[in-house]
Amino acid sequence: MQLKKRVVIPVLCAVLVIGLGFNYVKKQEPNDILVEEEIADLPQKPSVSLDTYLPVIKDTIWTYESNEKYRPLSSWVEFINNDVMQIKFLYGDKSITKVYVEEEDAIYEVASVEDVAIKENYTTLRQYKNTVLKLPLTAGNSWVLSDGAIRTITKVDKKYDTPLGEQKGIEVTTLHDDYKITEVYGEKVGLIYAKYENDNGVQEFELNQIENNKAQEETVSLYIAKKETGALELIKEKVAIMTNEEPKHFLTDLLKKVMDSEYVTTLSNGVTIEKTFKDDENCLYVELSGEFVDLNYNAREQKGVLASLVQTLGRYYDADYVVINIEGEAYPVKGGQADSRGRIRVVK
């Protein structure tokens, strides 16, 4: 685990627009703590560095207690791509995925997607540009947000309690006619406290746990063909997803897995899923590295393997159709299984 230089954990207030009733930065359309060991090896940075107070550690989960007792907030890094970072936040039954860019003197929030059920890479998405934090990190530095709110660094070098012990931190206050937000960022820790006030009341969040070497967990529905009948059977598998791991990687592993002798293995011959994308008609295109149907399979088993691939990937990506390509060439689907454009309908 290494700390990613020049990539930052985002401001929590930009996240909790979902379900909280707080209108922070209106978008323009378009159990053990193990972090101490890693931090000890970091080079010392000047106190004015952006990533001193907004660090990111891959494969790490931050958990915050809320004054709403049964609704904690958690966040983790899904993708890091140079100075672009994608974070997913989970608050109760709501989630939001946000994209951040660090430039030379400021950090910007540039995109957000709500209630994403699966892991998708949005690091190239650009919807707007709101300043999260900017240099110099000195008391009194302020800037105006897109909704007219004024964001100001109000305290520096104050000491705060964190899961890693006492740390120096800075306080940032956002003032708007409709709300007030107070946030505290700890040195080498990130956001440790946030308070949101508006006409609907007050909400507070306090960091209580940092877990590194921790994967994001997801349950994947697999549709696997039975050898005797060719019928598909639903099998649910839990996967542990690390930072920068794309669904095509763990989906390949799951579909190559031999469930037991009753089932046909969906991906054989060392084949991998190379690429997936959806078009404007919600059709999922799947690029495979080679012939995925074992020639030793009988006709029923071959048909079951194709159905397994279509249903598993189509439903995972919530697509209406699936098109399969092998090394750039369309897979020859037999009559009746696809429409005139080679698209196979996903049964839902």
Tokens, residue 40: 């000890």
Q: What percent of the chain has pLDDT over 90?
A: 47
Closest C-alpha to 287, from 325, 258, 241: 325
**37 inside domain:** yes
Stretch (H or E) spanning 114 = strand 106-114
**326 inside domain:** yes
pLDDT at position 335 is 65
Quick one: pLDDT band at residue 161, thresholds 50, 70, 90?
Answer: confident
Mean model confidence pLDDT for the chain: 82
What pTM value is reported for the model? 0.75
The secondary structure of 228-282 as a DSSP string is TT--EEEEEEEEEE-TT--HHHHHHHHHHS---TTB--SS-TT--EEEEEE-TTS
Q: Which of the two residues, 333 and 281, has the higher pLDDT score?
A: 281
State pLDDT tens for residues 71-87.
Answer: 789 999 999 988 899 99
**6 inside domain:** no
Residues 235 and 321 in one domain: yes
Quick one: pLDDT band at residue 163, thresholds 50, 70, 90?
Answer: confident
Tokens, residue 88: 């997913």
Assess whether pLDDT exceeds 80 at residue 140.
yes
Mean pLDDT value of segment 218-240: 93
Quick one: pLDDT band at residue 31, thresholds 50, 70, 90?
Answer: very low
Residues 152 and 300 in one domain: no
Q: Which of the two residues, 137 and 30, has the higher pLDDT score?
A: 137
Q: Are 58 and 80 in contact (CB under 8 A)?
A: yes
Quick one: pLDDT band at residue 299, thresholds 50, 70, 90?
Answer: confident
pLDDT at position 23 is 38
Tokens, residue 267: 């991906």
Residues 207 and 232 in one domain: no
Q: Which of the two residues, 56 and 20, has the higher pLDDT score?
A: 56
Assess whether pLDDT exceeds 90 at residue 313.
yes
Which residues are within 8 A (CB) of 326 and not within 5 positions of it... i.e. 6 or more apart? 287, 288, 289, 290, 291, 292
**5 inside domain:** no
* Cβ-based burial of 51 (10 A; exposed 0-12, middle 13-18, buried ≥19): buried
Closest C-alpha to 15, from 78, 116, 92, 87: 87
**252 inside domain:** yes
**7 inside domain:** no
**Residue 229: which CATH number?**
3.30.300
**4 inside domain:** no
Q: Are 234 and 222 in contact (CB under 8 A)?
A: yes
Residues 173 and 69 in one domain: yes
Residues 131 and 153 in one domain: yes
Residues 339 and 260 in one domain: yes
**232 inside domain:** yes
Cα separation values, 240 from 89, 120, 139, 228, 333, Å: 17, 15, 42, 32, 33
